[in-house]
Chain A
Amino acid sequence: MSELLRAPAEIKYAEELDWLESIDDGPKPFSWRLSPKMVRLFVLGSERSDGLDREVAQKWFGDRSFVERSIVTLASDRGLLLIGDPGTGKSWLAELLSAAISRNSTLVVQGTAGTTEDHIKYSWNVSMVIAKGQSRESMIPSPIMTAMESGSIGRFEELTRSTSDVQDALISILSEKYISVPELAGGGDDDNIVFAKPGFSVIATANSRDRGVNDLSSALKRRFNFVRIPVVTNKRSETEIVRFRTEELLRRHSIDLEVPPTLLDVLLQSFADLRQSAAAAGSDDEKLESALSTAEQIGVLEDAVLHSNFFGESALTARTLASSLVGSLTRREPEDLAILNKYLHGVVEPRSKEQGGSWPEFLEGGRDAIATLS
């Protein structure tokens, strides 16, 4: 585990999952490793009232009903489509769910403009085909096909980035639950059809900002249940998320650095301000290109932490935070810079005079970063 840069959820939480499986006495649908309630417990963490011997940490932060609806969808006949702004934790939730349900979250197809039908169904090992002809041996199954064969959860990231013909290939998989391999026809013993085992389902994620690029056909929409994940705006849960992810990150990099809570507050507050201004903006030019999601905040913090660890005096300062905020959020010049400049002078400056604390240093750092960039 220690040799992995980023362990998938089922490895990272293997021990916890084992334990949960051992105490789980609830009914399990299909070949699920955990009952739906335990899956929920795994994702959302335990409460004292659950009466468990050990505490299960909360891994995904958000409305309980989203998780419940997602789990229930996977237990039903339909696929699950998590839709939301970038950085809202869709993929993380998908990973947690597939880790908890089938102990394998790596059966992933990444949807891109270059994704072809082969990536969803199967392709051929050309040299094997030449050597032995077309057979099950020389066939390379896609992650989805593997999931079908093993009765586990297949994941399809960024479904709307792939073209319509690729998307349409999913329709038959989701409704008939098998893939036919016409090349193997005539070989007898039904080898030309790969049937899905019970427990197979698909979790797809789609970026709501990409709407209109490759719209889903209504036939495909019908086969998915949509769960919309909103941007977290609740300050308390956002603090939780940022803290949780940052700790994980520091552990991963084995960095011994403390993130002062006041700086976390500064970060959250500045994102809240920027979101507010984006909501009030009239045109796209007046708002930052960034979606200002929680993931973005974590990115800013990560950047600042790494910077102070390797180049700074191993303590996170407001100055570093400000410069990484400016650095991460500036994607377009001069629009984004102008907005950040306006933000620093219009909002941060009065606040630093009023409240003091880390704000004056934050302002200073932000100004320097803007000066460097422009």
Chain B
Amino acid sequence: MSGDRESTSFGALRGQLQEAAAAFAGGPDALEGILLGLVDDVDRAVREPLEIFPVCHHSPASAVAMARRLRAKQPKVVYLELCEDMAPLLTELRNCRLPVAVQAFAGDVDGFPKEWAPLSVVAPVTEASAEYQAIAYALDTPGVELVLVDRSSDHVFQWDGRDEQPQEEAGPPREAEAALHGEAVGVEIGDLRPRFAELEEHLLRHGRVRHWSEWWHQYVEVPLGDSDHDTYRQVMFLIGSLFRRLAPGEGSRLRVDEDRERFMWTRIREHLAASGADPADCLYVCGAFHAASRVAEFGVRGDSGAFTISPRTATAWQYGLIPSSHAAIEAQFGLAAGSVSIAATEWAKSLKRTRVRPYVLEGQAGKRKSAARKAAAVPAPPAGAAADRLSGFLRRPPVLDSLDEAELLGWSVDIVRAARRSGYLASTADAVAVFETSILLAGMRDRAKPTPYDFQDAAVTCIEKDVVPGRRDVRRLVEIMMGGDRIGQVGYESLPPLARDVHDRLEPLGLRLQQRGVRRALLDMVSRPELRACSDVLWMLRRLMPHGAARPIMGEQRLGERSVQESWDLALGTHQRALIELGYEGVSIEQVLEQRLRRAAYGPGATAATVLAAVEDATLYLGSRRLADELGTHALKVLAAERGVDGAPEVLRRVRALLAHYRTSEPVLPSWIESFVKSGYAHYCTLLPTAFGDEDATVGQVAAMLGFLFGMEGLALSLGCDRTQLELAVGQSHPEDPSKTALLWAAQVQLGTLSRGELRSRCDALLANPLVVPAYPRYLSGFVHALEPVPGLADVVVEAVSNAFGRLPDAVLLPWLPLLVTTLRSSAAELAPLLIREAGRIFPGRLAALDAWVPPWRTPPVAPDARRAGPGGRAPRGAALLPAHPATCDAVAELLGCTREWTDADRPGDPGGSGGGSGVALLTAHPAACDALAGLLGCDEGWDSGGGCGSPARGAVLAGRHPAAAAAWEAVLARA
């Protein structure tokens, strides 16, 4: 390269630099090499026949220069440094409100380590960027071709080892706006920043600026603002070269960069050869860093053939646009907060100042159609070889942007107003102070015009006091005022089919769900049955999308339960990215949900419980018998392969719910659930003895197994299971743990191998044995769990707990109480009501009654006969009762089929009839009733032959004849 040095227009500059190097370093050495190398790089890039247009990201100067150059040159082909596989999406940009990011997404990876999934690459596009100008020009100008030449998203991951990526990821946790890109890897056109931390620090220190964005603004943006095309290019080449030459020699990052350059030039040459385009009619837009490349493949006449592009992996990539925001871009690329917003403001200002007409995509959302203005006179493209503009630029004193007093005044007034709205005690005096301080600060920092950053400092100085009264401090207020965070939006037309489908289906709600923010949806399915479909969609979205995207406020959906009214908080616009990424998984949410359920069910970590959960979701959200059956059959296989009992409680709960659902909604049970119950019965029978003995299996899990066995027993036996299996399993179980022992006893009671009396006496024995008493609470815990499989044992459990309170020594009782409470609250939440209800039945309801109360288990057992037989002297009461309640008597008579009238003498209230004899009279008046009753009671020896119906004494005779009937009757009446 040194051979042609003298032949170019940079000779004079070289001479000067040589002298400078000699003066500083005292002779030709590395410094000279670097300085001359810089000029070489610029020279080479300038002489390249294919015009290279160096850019820097988020640089309004780049964008303005680009717009100007495009208008002047009108290139036929634009090569752009952007992942080549993103090309088809760019035309969709017109439907979006910028900033948005082009995303390449791969949920399933093939060819990359599994743990990398999902892979995501985003390339944010803002309006104030050179690349947008190039894209807008190329897409809207007929006959112009836009060729993306950078490596594909696939190569991004092929080339960048995952370990090295943190360079592009922001470390600290981000705010919601800043997290819009999710975990994606960012790619950007024109990444231009010193790679030596020391170099950056040096530049910041000497530039008297706080951060890189400010440095760039002051030392590159402003001076380049109105420069001509050649100066712009040469300066950018120089900066690119400077950062390239003053970079640490670390291999990986530079290697990737060089590979990218080889890739891009190879693609450009391929395209030139294929299309036959003249390089002079083309424009290559790339970061200034890449323009200073020294790879052999550089240039249209570069070395070709040495670099082969590796094939992509088999990973299937999906493409889409996702909303982006200034904050997200800043966070992703490590820029200072607010810098992208300030760049956007600067862009708008430079457009006004330079009167450059920018390119805007036809129909760009969020843009007002401005009346076609007359473009500023386009300077004629310079003819001939580029002259040396660099020397002049480098020798020029720092450009002082003239003070724009009106603008600064406007800012000062605005910030005071904004501060006042945020609770600051700011006044007009503060506006004056901010104005003055800005100018003074700028003066101290060697600039005539305060930059937005100076203004920010001034505002903080003058307005910020010791406390921040509101949510935002002055620094943030200035950021907002300077354009604030702008959040992009992907237009409906550019959404993936799934997202469009969701919006279409939610149309009946009449809400503007595309917009950001939370919307409240009220669904009254009674008056508007068509909203049922919307509700279905919402429930699915709730299952699929991150928390907050669709949140039910009222209403729930469970198996067999649907609300008739629902209200939802919907924030689909805010979670647009999540919705779009759902779109990569399928074309409808049903499909995505089905895929996810399958993935969950067939995944390596799936247990019977998770598969059943998937079955439940399939039934609940998709209403799909087909999928539910398929997953259910799979659950059967998973259960059979399980050796542990960890999932037993969950399995029991889910199977119960599903069984209840199918019993009420289907004419016959699905065959899979029958098989599931059948094999579950056998499965848990097999595992039962082990589980009883296994220390790792908790009592809750064993109880759930028993619950399954006893609860599903009826169904299982009807399907051909054998109860002996269960009896044998229980017989084989020999638990050592007291709680499991209690559980086993309960199971034995249920099976009938142990009577309640025996169980009671065992409990008593436990309490009576001082050696076992300390373990009594653990037995109790077993009993409480036993309520799940054997709910009928509630009275025994109440008794056992009561005995514990009554008889346990305090030393055992008190430490156990907290444990009891926590057990009841956590693991036995469903059992506690049962226990409480039973206790409520047994214990007296009032305090007063407690003194006289004797627990039922303390009362001696009463023989059933004794209880039934009434005391002998109460016979007349019954007889007296009958005439007093004639209606009752009539009813009884009618019940017995005796429809004869009362005899006058027997009429109640009849003065003639005596109270004592009326009962007897009644009986004689209705002999048939008497007979029937006697028959009913089993006394059928017939009427006394001597007795007639007319005799008053016959009643007594009757009673005498049917003494047992009389007694029984008496008892019935007494009880009534």
Contact = CB atoms under 8 A, between A and B. Distances in A.
Nearest to A80: B461
A136 interface: no
B466 A208 contact: yes
A64 interface: yes
B403 to A, nearest CB: 16
B440 A47 contact: no
Given A68-B457, A69-B457, A72-B461, A225 B433 contact: yes
Nearest to A219: B425
Nearest to A224: B465
Contact of A40 (B425, B430, B444): B444
B464 interface: yes
B443 interface: yes
A47 B433 contact: no
Interface in A187-206: 206
Contacts of A225: 433, 437, 461-462
Interface string A71-92: 1110111100001000000000
Nearest to B440: A72
A72 B466 contact: no
B206 interface: yes
A227 interface: yes
A162 to B, nearest CB: 16
A209 B427 CA distance: 28
A222 B466 contact: no
B425 A76 contact: no
B437 A76 contact: yes
Interface string B427-445: 1011001001100110111
Nearest to A72: B440
A221 B463 CA distance: 10
A47 B441 contact: no
Contacts of A77: 433, 436
Nearest to B467: A211
A208 B466 CA distance: 8
Interface string B462-490: 10111000000000000000000000000
Of B430, B444, B464, most buried by chain A (CB within 10 Å of CB) is B444
A65 interface: yes
Nearest to A29: B440
Interface string A213-230: 000101001100111100
Given A68-B445, A225-B433, A75 B457 contact: no
Interface in A11-44: 36-37, 40
Contacts of A211: 466
A221 B210 contact: no
B429 A222 contact: yes
Q: Bin chain B's interface residue count.
A: 20 to 34
A254 interface: no
B466 A226 contact: yes
Contacts of B208: 64
Contacts of A40: 444
B427 A65 contact: no
B206 A47 contact: yes
A76 B436 contact: yes
A2 interface: no
A355 interface: no
B900 interface: no
A78 B462 contact: yes
- In terms of DSSP, what is the predominant structure of the interface of chain A? helix
Contacts of A226: 461, 464-466
Contacts of A49: 206
Interface of B is mostly: helix
Interface string B274-294: 000000000000000000000
Contacts of B433: 76-78, 225
B465 A221 contact: yes
Contacts of B458: 69, 72
Nearest to A73: B461
Interface string B198-237: 0000000110101000000000000000000000000000
B437 A73 contact: yes
A47 B203 CA distance: 13
A86 to B, nearest CB: 15
For the side of the interface on A, what is the size category? 20 to 34
A227 B461 contact: yes
B465 A72 contact: no
Nearest to A226: B465
A64 B454 CA distance: 13
Contact of B444 (A36, A206, A222, A228): A36
A366 B466 CA distance: 38
B769 to A, nearest CB: 48
Contacts of A222: 425, 427, 429-430
B907 to A, nearest CB: 89
A65 B466 contact: no
B436, B457, B458, B466: most-surrounded residue (chain A CB, <10 A): B466
Contact of A65 (B210, B443, B462, B464): B210
A228 B473 CA distance: 13
Interface string A48-69: 0100000000000000110011
B443 to A, nearest CB: 7
A69 B461 contact: yes
A72 B464 contact: no
A36 B465 CA distance: 23
A64 B207 CA distance: 12
Contacts of B429: 222
Contacts of B205: 47
A198 to B, nearest CB: 15
Contacts of B437: 69, 72-73, 76, 225
B461 A37 contact: no
A66 to B, nearest CB: 10
B532 to A, nearest CB: 51
Nearest to B427: A222
Nearest to B426: A222
B323 to A, nearest CB: 34
Given A78-B433, A221-B425, A222-B425, A37 B465 contact: no
Contacts of A37: 444
A211 B467 CA distance: 10
A80 to B, nearest CB: 9
A49 B210 CA distance: 18
Contacts of B461: 69, 72-73, 225-227
B425 A68 contact: no
Nearest to B210: A65
Q: Which of A49, A218, A226, A227 has the most CB of B within 10 A?
A: A226
B444 A72 contact: yes
A78 B458 CA distance: 13
* Most chain A beta-carbon neighbours within 10 Å: one of B208, B427, B437: B437
Nearest to B441: A72
Contacts of B462: 78, 225
Contacts of B445: 68
A210 to B, nearest CB: 11
Nearest to A69: B461
A65 B457 contact: yes
A73 B462 CA distance: 8
A258 B445 CA distance: 39
A208 B465 CA distance: 12
B840 to A, nearest CB: 44
Nearest to A50: B206
Contacts of A216: 466
B398 to A, nearest CB: 13
Given A65-B457, A69-B457, A36 B427 contact: no
A171 to B, nearest CB: 13
- The winner among A71, A76, A221 for most chain B CB atoms within 10 A is A76
The 5 closest A-B pairs by CB, nearest first: A72-B440, A69-B461, A225-B461, A221-B465, A72-B441
11 contacts: A36-B444, A68-B441, A69-B437, A73-B437, A73-B461, A75-B440, A76-B440, A206-B466, A222-B429, A226-B465, A227-B461
Given A40-B444, A77-B436, A226-B465, 11 more contacts: A65-B210, A65-B457, A69-B457, A69-B458, A72-B458, A76-B433, A76-B437, A225-B437, A225-B461, A226-B461, A226-B464
